[in-house]
């Protein structure tokens, strides 16, 4: 299968946008390599690295043992010696196996060596619900990563952002965790290679003046659908897609809330000490005097993820309940 070379795609899947980003970066920079479980011959658990072995060979697309500490540790060593590894961990749920390598090594090496050594690596992984994977294969653990200084954290919601943010992640000297929602791989949208995305800058997808709805990853698409329903009731929702959680674009959040004076924060992570908690705190600290109603954070439940499809669906935010919460806030 030949990887397409054009600059604009009217429609491309999230999965293919990721593959194209890796292909373009590997073509432009011979130091970029890929390693992980089943990334070469099989093409990755969700097919994002399919055909890259044929394009770049087994010295640059490398199958590894099923060992997260080995994958991340090897990537760190490779990055320290001048390569730019993309380490794929099949599930974010398995980050606990390699948290010493991620949090104590990759995030701190540049600081501990006074900037003399960098770790330019990307850890690609996927998380979230939607495939009845159960409690150990469906989690949203981005708050673990967001807590650690020295790491970038990217969570795109569409193919265009996925392409540009992955390429940007490979061009920085900061180790980056790139989390892809498992239900976004087949999500389709346009891609314009020449219309670059500003790394660390949130995107206002829908301007409004009634309420600010702040989201990221799959929840962004839920927020957009909710905004359409709210518009039918003459409620103008401003939708903010954060795109990156570290760096976090606080200014876009604050300026939006100061304008609408109402805020709803969405996350598929947990309610307690999650990403939504941090964003809610930022809003209260900076917008308290202008808020007409308290901020609401709408998240997954503080329980393990259920495996039954009907329970799993209601475990995380839904479009209809986003609409209900928004109406509750502004009335």
Q: Please indicate, yes or no, whether residues 184 and 251 belong to a single structural domain of this protein.
A: no
Q: Please indicate, yes or no, whether residues 213 and 269 belong to a single structural domain of this protein.
A: yes
Contact yes or no for 178/123 (Cβ under 8 A): yes
Q: Please indicate, yes or no, whether residues 174 and 249 belong to a single structural domain of this protein.
A: no
CATH number of the domain residue 25 falls in:
3.40.50.970
Instruction: Read off φ and ψ for residue 265, nearest 5 degrees.
Output: -110, 125
CATH number of the domain residue 320 falls in:
3.40.50.920
Q: Please indicate, yes or no, whether residues 182 and 213 belong to a single structural domain of this protein.
A: no
Q: Please indicate, yes or no, whether residues 146 and 107 belong to a single structural domain of this protein.
A: yes
pLDDT digits (tens, 9 = 90+) for 138-186: 999 999 999 999 999 999 999 999 999 999 999 999 999 999 999 999 9
Question: Per the domain annotation, does 7 fall within a domain?
Answer: no
The residue segments making up the domain with residue 188 are: 12-192
Question: Per the domain annotation, does 257 fall within a domain?
Answer: yes
Which two three-digit tokens encode residue 254?
Answer: 């604050």
pLDDT digits (tens, 9 = 90+) for 288-313: 999 999 999 999 999 999 999 999 99
Residue 1: what pLDDT? 58
Give the count of domains, the chain.
2
Given 170, 192, 214, which residue is the final one in a domain? 192
Q: Global pTM?
A: 0.97
Residue 3: what pLDDT? 80
pLDDT (tens place) for every residue of the chain, 331 residues total: 578 889 999 999 999 999 999 999 999 999 999 999 999 999 999 999 999 999 999 999 999 999 999 999 999 999 999 999 999 999 999 999 999 999 999 999 999 999 999 999 999 999 999 999 999 999 999 999 999 999 999 999 999 999 999 999 999 999 999 999 999 999 999 999 999 999 999 999 999 999 999 999 999 999 999 999 999 999 999 999 999 999 999 999 999 999 999 999 999 999 999 999 999 999 999 999 999 999 999 999 999 999 999 999 999 999 999 999 999 999 8
Non-local CB neighbours of 25 within 8 Å, separated by 6+ positions: 32, 166, 167, 170, 171
Residues annotated as part of the active site: 68, 137
Q: Please indicate, yes or no, whether residues 127 and 211 belong to a single structural domain of this protein.
A: no
Angle at 147 between CA 144 and CA 152, to 5 degrees: 90
CA distance 214 to 1: 39
Which helix (H) or strand (E) is 20 found in, with range?
A: helix 14-28
Print the SS3 string covering 227-295.
Answer: HHHHHCCCCCEEEEECCEEECCCHHHHHHHHHHHCCEEEEEEEECCCCHHHHHHHHHHHHHCCCCCCCC
Q: Where do we find the tokens 């990755």? A: 44
Q: Please indicate, yes or no, whether residues 145 and 286 belong to a single structural domain of this protein.
A: no
Q: Please indicate, yes or no, whether residues 63 and 180 belong to a single structural domain of this protein.
A: yes
Q: Where do we find the tokens 């698409």? A: 221
């Amino acid at each position: 299968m030949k990887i397409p070379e054009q600059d604009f795609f009217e429609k491309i899947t999230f999965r293919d946008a990721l593959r194209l980003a890796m292909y373009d970066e590997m073509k432009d920079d011979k130091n970029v390599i890929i390693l992980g479980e089943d990334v070469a011959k099989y093409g990755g658990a969700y097919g994002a690295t399919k055909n890259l072995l044929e394009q770049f060979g087994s010295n640059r697309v490398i199958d590894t043992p099923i060992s997260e500490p080995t994958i991340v540790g090897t990537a760190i060593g490779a990055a320290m010696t001048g390569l730019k590894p993309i380490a794929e961990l099949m599930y974010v749920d398995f980050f606990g196996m390699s948290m010493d390598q991620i949090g104590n090594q990759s995030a701190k090496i540049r600081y501990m060596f006074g900037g003399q050594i960098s770790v330019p690596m990307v850890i690609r992984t996927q998380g979230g619900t939607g495939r009845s994977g159960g409690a150990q294969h469906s989690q949203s653990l981005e708050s673990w990563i967001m807590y650690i200084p020295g790491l970038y954290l990217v969570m795109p919601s569409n193919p265009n952002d996925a392409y540009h943010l992955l390429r940007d992640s490979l061009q920085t000297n900061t180790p980056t965790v790139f989390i892809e929602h498992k239900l976004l791989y087949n999500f389709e949208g346009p891609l314009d290679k020449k219309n670059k995305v500003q790394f660390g800058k949130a995107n206002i997808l829908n301007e409004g003046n009634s309420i600010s709805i702040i989201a990221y990853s799959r929840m962004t698409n839920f927020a957009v659908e909710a905004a359409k329903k709210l518009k039918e009731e003459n409620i103008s929702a401003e939708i903010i897609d954060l795109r990156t959680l570290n760096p976090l674009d606080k200014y876009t959040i604050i300026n939006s809330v100061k304008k609408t004076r109402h805020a709803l924060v969405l996350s598929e992570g947990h309610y307690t000490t999650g990403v939504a908690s941090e964003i809610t705190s930022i809003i209260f600290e900076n917008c308290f005097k202008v808020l007409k109603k308290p901020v609401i954070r709408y998240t997954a439940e503080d329980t393990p993820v259920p495996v039954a499809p009907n329970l799993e669906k209601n475990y995380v935010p839904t479009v209809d309940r986003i609409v209900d919460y928004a109406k509750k806030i502004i009335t």
